[in-house]
Amino acid sequence: TRGLNCPLPILKAQKALTSMSSGQVLKVVSTDTGSVRDFAAFAKQTGNELMSQTTEGSDFVHILKRR
Question: What is 34-58 written as a DSSP string?
Answer: THHHHHHHHHHHH--EEEEEEEETT
- pLDDT attached to residue 46: 97
Per-residue pLDDT tens digits of the chain, which is 67 residues long:
999 999 999 999 999 999 999 999 999 999 999 999 999 999 999 999 999 999 999 999 999 999 9
Q: Which amino acid is at 63?
A: I
Determine which one of 1, 2, 6, 52 is catalytic: 6
Q: What pLDDT sits at residue 41? A: 98
Residues 6+ apart with CB under 8 A from 9: 1, 28, 30, 32, 35, 38, 39
Say if CB 35 and CB 6 are below 8 A apart.
Answer: yes
Does the annotation count 6 as an active-site position? yes
